[in-house]
């Protein structure tokens, strides 16, 4: 998922909001500008598909930015944890600059550092269409970045 370290498995068609039931906890009195959201699968079939019994999401209200996502399994034991370590202001938006994803069961961690460049023009919508007839997404994205003279390294 662009802008997060959520993996493809987290987003392959069953993360739509209608698949989850949300509860919001206003903790501004205790935690400053952080809003806590609990997301639970809306049906047992969704829970079995995603493998998550609950997501606990921390949102920075002031920067409109996800700070943390705690993933719990069907048994509600911790599976993995996404944390935003640093953020950067890009235009009018705050975006992740560095994130970390810890997988507890396989004891693996990954960190991603993000770099952002202003685009001289808006990318064509078809670039992000998985059914686009011009071939796989990554080569199309690489070609688009080269056309905009954005470094690929």
The pTM (predicted TM-score) of the whole model is 0.73
Residue 15: per-residue pLDDT: 59
Closest Cα to residue 57, out of 43, 31, 38?
38
Whole-angstrom distance, CA of residue 125 vs CA of residue 88 = 26
Distances (CA, A) of 138 to 6, 71, 142: 18, 28, 6
Distances (CA, A) of 114 to 1, 6, 83, 124: 13, 14, 14, 22
Residue ranges with strand state E in 7-92: 20-26, 34-41, 54-60, 65-72, 78-90
Pairs from 140-144 (Cβ < 8 Å, separation ≥ 24): none
Residue 13: per-residue pLDDT: 47
Residue 86: per-residue pLDDT: 95
Question: From the first residue on, what is the mean pLDDT of each consecutive set of 10 residues in the chain (153 residues)?
Answer: 47 63 74 84 87 90 90 92 93 91 91 86 78 80 86 75
């Amino acid at each position: 998922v662009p802008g997060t370290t959520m993996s493809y498995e987290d987003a392959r068609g069953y993360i739509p909001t209608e698949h989850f039931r949300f509860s919001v906890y206003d903790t501004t009195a205790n935690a400053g500008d952080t809003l806590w959201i609990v997301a639970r699968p809306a049906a047992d079939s969704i829970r079995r598909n995603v493998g998550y019994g609950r997501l606990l999401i921390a949102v920075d209200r002031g920067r409109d930015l996800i700070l943390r996502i705690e993933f719990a399994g069907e048994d509600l034991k911790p599976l993995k944890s996404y944390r935003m370590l640093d953020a950067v202001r890009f235009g009018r938006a705050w975006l992740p600059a560095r994130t970390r994803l810890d997988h507890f069961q396989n004891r693996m961690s990954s960190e991603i550092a993000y770099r952002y460049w202003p685009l001289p023009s808006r990318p064509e919508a078809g670039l992000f269409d998985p059914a686009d007839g011009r071939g796989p997404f990554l080569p199309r994205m690489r070609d688009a970045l080269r056309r905009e003279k954005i470094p690929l390294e």
